[in-house]
Structure 1
Amino acid sequence: MDFLPLAEDLLAVRSTADRPDDLLRALDLVLEEVGPGFTVERFESRGKPSALVYVGPRRPHFRVILNGHLDVVPGTPDQFLPRRDGDRLIARGAQDMKLSALVQAQVFRALAPTSPVPLALQLVTDEEVGGRDGTAHQVAEGVTGDFVVIGEHSGLRVVTESKGLVGVRLDATGRAAHSAYQWLGDNALHTLTRAVDAVLTAYPVATAEAWRTTVTLARITTTNQALNQVPSDATAWLDVRFPAEDTDFTGRTADQVAAHFTALCPPGVTATVNSVEPPHRVVSDHSDVLALQRAAREQGYTGELLRKHGAADSRFYFQRGVDAVIFGVGGDGQHGPDEYADLTTVEPYRRALTAFLTSLT
């Protein structure tokens, strides 16, 4: 497989958010694979590079945008030394999602010059840290399309729905005192933990997969550094994921969601929300969704529809009324020590993506 040496070179690049040179290196490596003869628009936002590749001198409204991210979450040095184990290619980013992005680039190179409809390849380097400086930045700069295929891993299934995302900060205030004289103080940490308990009572920790709103306690801090002092302040950060049908979040402003959480907490605790990232959803009978399903089935896969609990860059298109799905290779271990891509899905993915794009008129 000529694909494998290039894939291993890409996987060896430590393209994490704190390594700007490697983010650019990963981007340039894939652009080199696309080759000459295309217009390459380069973007940069807050140190994160991205690119948009298409045919012609001027950017059109695209029929389909192939979206891939080349950044990865941090890992140990050995995770950037790709290795084979049978049909598994093991490395950081193999499943999420460098292999899918590389296939997208090669399919785009083969089809875009003669496609009867305008196609784009969108390569970004910040999805793992929120996507605001890659996909969201390009969309804000006027990139538009009818349909977007995001190459996140799916095992050739079609993800038509993903949850929305909210980051919530809970701030508790109290009164400092010497810890030997507790009755003279008001421990903000105690107040905060009662607030967290109240929130988790309303949104219990999921012990099995469930399509409902979940709240994860991510961090608790206080500015107090002394062991013999009652803390006068404490802060907790919550990660909230919600489906479209939860009306406490969908369609609500940041201030409304903050008020919702403040109401769950005891006096002395205030919630703050900076933004509400909406969920993403595409109707199951969308013509492009059906065409992708057919293309997957022709390769022996079910092409079944999936819902994902995690947020993806699809939400930035959804906010603009652009339909987007996730469709990528298979694998497992995302963000884990043994993350791998299933190599048996690479060529079927290539053929399915090719069949889908060539069916467009």
Structure 2
Amino acid sequence: MTLDLAAPVEVLAKALIDLPSVSGDEREIADQVEAALRACAHLEVTRLGNNVVARTTLGRAERVVVAGHLDTVPIASNVPGRWADDGATLWGRGAVDMKAGVAVQLSLAAALTEPTRDVTWVLYDQEEVEETRNGLGRVSRERPDLLQADFAVLGEPTGGVIEGGCNGTLRVDVTVQGKAAHSARSWKGVNAIHHAAPLLQALEEYEAETIEVDGLKYREGLNAVGISGGIAGNVIPDSVTVTLNYRFSPAWPLEEAKERVEKFVQAAFTAHPETLERWQAAPDELALVYSLVWTDEAQACRPGLDAPLARSFAAAVEATGAESPRAKLGWTDVARFGVLGIPAVNYGPGDPELAHADDERCAVSQIREVRAGLEAWLTS
């Protein structure tokens, strides 16, 4: 198949859904996107792995990046896509996250031969997996010149509302030590799983904060997202690892966010002296031992809505009837633009609560509205 960038934007979105592109398997969709963009005489196209960058070079006073990822989470019997509600709704993997947003970008990239601002269209791979594989990260490391801009828009699903900045995210493995013994003689050992209880109790009692940054409210979260331990059904476990995920507001730099988690874990154990006493009285005078290993970290991004281009963008989008900007509560790649010193916002079609769902779907009207909003700004 060949992508038709001149087709109605919702038809283009379905064509993209029909191209399976689970993270790590984006070659075919990247080939199709590259071929379609190279057919546009007004664009300079660069391919880097399965990342495609297309740029106008009109000598405008301002340059903006409009970016979106090509990959999806694994398919759940929802490819190819399908129409519902008499064509008013598009179903399928990626309908929300984020092939509808990519369709908007490709449609406009082909149509806007004379935008009032130079535009860099970035279509990248492996966003839905670990940070080290992220295609936008690769472009920023290997060809940072391609991302130079005054402002950036990331087409993540926002329900057609501008969402400023994003929360940061941290994952850490907290390992609690014990001592192995035969379960028939449990008093000879120290049960690490039992002794992780203070941490789990503290997490149960944790109350998420809502922190205002530049007029937008970001809700935080600290949760256990995994636990592992134990050797066999007749052995007292000598260690247990609890994996924590901290979603933090742009109020905290990355290192300060890590310190907050470290203090929380320390306080969880030291707040229970009776547990400390049990451990200190354990066989062989085994004392309290726990360790932290960071496994994933991505800093937050401030809203950036005070930048002149951000204000003009917000005005153009609100003129289409959209709601006022709000905070982005998850982590997105706007944080990468923040590191580069480029103000960035999220703006795309689709209800983010339906992202990754088996019944992932997007209203056709919203795909059209987001396209209209971007077009109005890029031609004003």
**Length-normalised TM-score, structure 2:** 0.81
Q: Distance in 1 between matches of 2:204 and 2:291?
A: 16
Query: How do residues 142-153 of structure 1 correspond to structure 2 at under 5 angstroms?
Result: 142=144, 143-153=147-157
Is 2:168 the partner of 1:167? Answer: no
Instruction: Determine which of 242, 250, 257 is the counterpart of 2:248.
Output: 242
Q: Judge conservation of contact 2:166–2:303 (CA < 8 Å) in 1.
A: no
Q: Distance in 1 between matches of 2:208 and 2:259?
A: 21
Query: How do residues 1-361 of structure 1 correspond to structure 2 at under 5 angstroms?
Result: 2-17=8-23, 19-20=24-25, 23-36=26-39, 37=41, 38-44=43-49, 49-55=50-56, 63-76=63-76, 78-86=77-85, 87-111=88-112, 113-115=113-115, 117-132=117-132, 133-141=134-142, 142=144, 143-203=147-207, 211-222=218-229, 224-245=230-251, 247=252, 250-252=253-255, 256=259, 259-266=262-269, 267-274=288-295, 276-302=297-323, 304-331=324-351, 333-359=354-380
How far the C-alpha of 1:204 sits from its partner, in A, is 5.8
- Cα distance per residue 1:179-234 (max 9 Å; x no partner): 1111000111112233232244345699xxx8432112111112x34100001111
Q: Distance in 2 between matches of 1:307 and 1:104?
A: 22
How far the C-alpha of 1:253 sits from its partner, in A, is 5.8
Q: Judge conservation of contact 2:125–2:136 (CA < 8 Å) in 1.
A: no
Q: Distance in 1 between matches of 2:307 and 2:258?
A: 34
Q: Distance in 1 between matches of 2:125 and 2:344?
A: 19
Count, aligned residues: 341
Letter matched to residue 98 of structure 1: K
- Aligned-CA RMSD value: 2.7
Q: Judge conservation of contact 1:189–1:234 (CA < 8 Å) in 2.
A: yes
How far the C-alpha of 1:330 sits from its partner, in A, is 3.3
**Length-normalised TM-score, structure 1:** 0.85
Q: Distance in 2 between matches of 1:306 and 1:161?
A: 9
How far the C-alpha of 1:312 sits from its partner, in A, is 0.2
Q: Which runs of 5+ in 2 are unaligned?
A: 1-6, 211-216, 270-287
C-alpha distance 154-262 of structure 1, shift in aligned 2 (>3 A): closer
Letter matched to residue 189 of structure 2: G
How far the C-alpha of 1:135 sits from its partner, in A, is 1.3
* Percent of residue pairs bearing the same amino acid type: 25
The 3-state SS of whatever aligns with 1:220 is: strand
Q: Which runs of 5+ in 1 are unaligned?
A: none
Q: Name which one, 1 or 2, has greater alpha-carbon Rg.
A: 2
Q: Judge conservation of contact 1:254–1:274 (CA < 8 Å) in 2.
A: no
Q: Distance in 2 between matches of 1:346 and 1:177?
A: 60
The 3-state SS of whatever aligns with 1:129 is: coil
How far the C-alpha of 1:64 sits from its partner, in A, is 0.4
Q: Judge conservation of contact 1:161–1:306 (CA < 8 Å) in 2.
A: no
Q: Judge conservation of contact 2:316–2:377 (CA < 8 Å) in 1.
A: yes
- Cα distance per residue 1:234-267 (max 9 Å; x no partner): 112111101123x4xx352686456324413433
The 3-state SS of whatever aligns with 1:167 is: strand
Q: Which runs of 4+ in 1 moved over 6 A?
A: none
The 3-state SS of whatever aligns with 2:96 is: helix
- Cα distance per residue 1:266-319 (max 9 Å; x no partner): 3322222255422112243432222222222332323x1111221000011112
